[in-house]
Amino acid sequence: MDITFSVNGERANVDVEPRRTLADALREDCGLTGTHLGCEHGVCGACTVLVDGEPVRACLMFAVQADGSSITTIEGLQGPDGELHPLQEAFVEHHGLQCGFCTPGMLMSGLHLLDTEPDADRERIRAEMSGNICRCTGYQGIVDAVEAAQKALDGEEPSAPRRRSRGSA
Amino acid sequence: MKCAPFEYVRAGSVEEVVKVLGEAGGDGKILAGGQSLVPVLALRMARPSVLVDVNRIPGLSAIRPVDGAIEVGALVRHSRLVEQQHHPLLAEAATWIGHTAIRTRGTTGGSIAHADPSAELPVVAAGTAAQITVAGPAGQRTVPAEELFVSALMTSLEDDEMIVRVRFPQPTRWGFAEFSRRHGDFALVTAVVAEIDGAVRVTLGGVGAVPVRATEAERVLAGGGSAADAARAASAEIEPTADLHGTVPFRRAIAAEMVRRALATAGID
């Protein structure tokens, strides 16, 4: 099936089998291997991407369902010259990662939280990030990093496209 | 793992869904939010030959306050249930469903049709005497929630029927309490207290194959008994089973505490 979506602002046309998940389409058909696949059944959160501005588990959505959508992946976080996003800087600074496998999903969840609830307290940050499993850090560094990124971004414009289309898509 | 191959139909109307499901002769499945179905497919616990994607059908995403109730379209996502302000019990229950990236996709109709006895919405549906409107080849019919849930993951829906909306009565007093080991997990025990038409209903999730009404506890309350007595009655009348996550006495103890908390939230002592 031929489908078209936008990934990080660029148009992508791919021909996929209906059973191809969005995660596999991003990795295999678009070559965007920054989105990681852990459990492949919606438990670990490693494959979290933004679809029309909302975080989704890319292993629980078929690529054909994303036809016409606008998708943001971890690759979309980098600046024009490849520089790290302030949230990524904060993860480096505060030991928000060790092996890095869960990090793309963590960053996409964190990004959505920063954009929608820039004043979230530690308890909210912890609750929101609980949809992503990390087996290295023990989570303290991740919560610290999101909190630090809040401060770094305070007063700046939202960092990612903030399209809110709910319900019908 | 990857899903087995299937034929994909992007339906444009409820009638088309019913037709395609009928033609599939029991081998078709509705794809809504996919938060329960896709894991089942990925683990190859099911291999339907046809998936009917209902996500783009217009008219199924409305939340409408009606007389003494709200009507929720089958495609309303959990994240919208959290945000709506018409039905506070439903909003509270929806905050307990999975995580943000699950609530943005999971749908009301899907959760009810999946009929997981540990999921939040089936307990709220049974606990508030919700009415489920279902479309089939002969048109629409309405099923009371308690008749919809037949067993774990089983409903009285026919293979070619689809839930189009759910009508949740508005309780005058309500309480919701849930216990799970980790944030966002399915519940070990959920308790819903809802006062509807002057009668207090106590309903538990996670303690049987379907949401369970604690009728003894309700009798205790109707007879002027205390919340503590009602919680004890509920814990004694249920028949939970033991598994990896908890023994029978543990589940009974948790059930008593969840009923106590839900009653306290409802202002019933």
**What is the C-alpha separation between B196 and B204, in angstroms, rounded?**
16
Cross-chain CB nearest to A41 (options B31, B42, B184): B42
Interchain contact B84–A (C-beta under 8 A)? no
Identify the bridge partners of residue B144 per DSSP, sorted by sequence position.
B131
What pLDDT, on the 0 to 100 scale, is given for residue B83?
A: 97
In the three-class reduction of DSSP (H, G, I as helix; E, B as strand; rest coil), residue B50 is classed as strand
Interface test with B, best of A109, A165, A168 (most B CBs within 10 A): A168
pTM of the model: 0.94
- Contact (Cβ atoms closer than 8 angstroms) between residue A96 and residue A144: yes
The C-alpha angle B145, B148, B150, rounded to 5 degrees, equals 125
Paired with B7 in beta bridges are B50
Cα(B63)–Cα(B57) distance, integer angstroms: 15
Which residue(s) pair with A13 in the sheet? A4
Categorize the per-residue pLDDT at B29 as very low, low, confident or very high, splitting at 50, 70 and 90: very high
Residues B153, B216, single domain; the answer is no
Distance in angstroms between the alpha carbons of the first and the last residue of chain A:
19
Q: Is A65 inside any structural domain?
A: yes
Same domain, A12 and A71: yes
C-beta atoms surrounding A18 within 10 Å: 19
Domain shared by A68 and A17, yes or no: yes
Which range of residues forms the domain containing residue B239? 174-265
| Shared domain check, B46 and B112 | no
How is residue B157 annotated by DSSP? -
A62 shares its domain with A122:
no
Instruction: Give the end of a domain, one of B169, B193, B225.
Output: B169
Look at chain B and report how many structural domains it folds into: 3
Residues B82, A150: Cα–Cα separation, whole Å: 24
Does any CB of chain A come closer than 8 Å to the CB of residue B59?
no
A117 occurs within a structural domain? yes
In a domain, B259, yes or no: yes
A157, pLDDT greater than 70: no
Q: Which of A76, A100, A127 is a domain's end point? A: A76
- What is the total count of domains within chain A? 2
Say yes or no to pLDDT of B120 above 90. Answer: yes
Predicted pLDDT at B180: 92
Q: What is the dihedral of CA A70, A71, A72, A76, to 10 degrees?
A: -80
Question: Which of B3, B55, B104 is closest, CB to CB, to A65?
Answer: B55
- B82 — contact with chain A (CB < 8 Å)? no
Say if B44 is an interface residue toward chain A (CB within 8 Å). Answer: no
Q: Which of A162, A85, A86 is nearest to A117 (CA)?
A: A162
Task: Give yes or no for a contact between B55 and B62, defined as CB atoms under 8 angstroms apart.
Answer: no
Q: Which one has a higher pLDDT value, A168 or A64?
A: A64
Three-state secondary structure readout of B171-239: CCEEEEEEECCCCCCCCCEEEEEEEECCEEEEEEECCCCCCEECHHHHHHHHCCCCHHHHHHHHHHHCC
- Is A106's pLDDT higher than 70? yes
- pLDDT band for position B245 (cuts 50, 70, 90): confident
Q: Are residues A53 and A117 in the same domain?
A: no
Q: In which domain, by residue range, is A68 found?
A: 2-76
pLDDT of residue A44: 97
Return the structure tokens found at B165. 């909306």
- Amino acid A161: pLDDT: 47
What was the ipTM of the complex prediction?
0.94
> Which value, to the nearest 10 degrees, does the dihedral of the CA atoms of residues A27, A33, A37, A38 take?
160
Closest Cα in chain A, distance from residue B17 (Å): 16
CA distance B54 to chain A (A): 10
Q: Decide if B58 is inside a domain.
A: no
Distance CA B194, CA B177 (A): 12
Is the domain of B148 the same as that of B219?
A: no
Condensed to tens digits (0 to 9), the pLDDT of residues B78-115 reads 999 999 999 999 999 999 999 999 999 999 999 999 99
Report pLDDT for A158: 54
User: Which residues of A52-95 form beta strands (DSSP E)?
Assistant: 54-57, 70-72
Choosing from A20, A43, A76, the residue where a domain stops is A76
DSSP H helices in B31-185: 37-42, 78-83, 88-95, 100-103, 108-114, 120-127, 145-148
Interface check for B10 against chain A (CB to CB < 8 A): the answer is yes
